[in-house]
Homo-oligomer: A and B are copies of this chain.
Amino acid sequence: MPSSGPSAAPRRWQRLGSRPVLTTRIFTVDSVDFQHPEQPVPRDFFVINPPDWVNVVALTPERELLLVRQFRFGINDFSLEIPGGVIDPGEDPVAAGLRELREETGGAGVRARLLGHVHPNPAMQSNRCHLVLVEEVRRSQALDWDRDEEFEILTLPVDEVYRLAYSGGITHAMVLDALLLFFPLWEKMKGG
């Protein structure tokens, strides 16, 4: 059991009404009122609402990972990542991962399953990013890039991908999360 410090347990704020303040193609922003149980008046906080996302650890039969390098508008620079993207409304996260893998790289595989999910930014963003593992991935399908997408597709031995991650060659937060959640499985695969 965790050993608690002298601090008090944090209280749950009650979420009251919200007002939309911005709508874009890829996210909305709301101003949301929250009420602390021991404070007299509510306070408002801005919350960014993108759809849920998915990123895919795509393991090849040669025990390499499929990587994509692309230009990213948020950082105005290139980024080395695993395949991923936006989950469509009502779409299953594993199905979405398989779809993104196929569209971005032409890859398909077996034993697709969830590694877990993360919150990209619990403080000010509501969505989740699901992390999916697919094994025996082969690139046999046609590419189907969205408008404004352009990828360099690479494969690298898994341990080399971890070395890149540890040394700053991969900086995408959710891609690194996928590598963290894949790690115990990969240790077992290597040993087995």
Q: Could you list which residues of chain A lie within 8 angstroms of chain B, going by C-beta atoms?
A: 2-13, 15, 21-22, 24-27, 29, 32, 34, 36, 43, 45-48, 50, 67, 69-79, 81, 105, 116-126, 128-129, 139, 143, 148, 150-156, 165-166, 168, 171-174, 176-177, 179-181, 183-184
Residue from B48, B119, B154 within 8 A of A3 (CB atoms): B154
Minimum distance in angstroms from A51 CB to a CB of chain B: 12
- Whether A118 contacts B152 in the complex (CB less than 8 A), given A71-B13, A74-B123, A180-B165, comes out as no
10 pairs of A and B residues whose beta carbons are closest in the complex? A5-B153, A72-B122, A2-B154, A10-B150, A45-B73, A24-B46, A180-B180, A79-B122, A173-B173, A74-B124
Which chain B positions have C-beta within 8 A of A75? Answer: 119, 122, 125-126
Residue from B7, B150, B173 within 8 A of A119 (CB atoms): B173
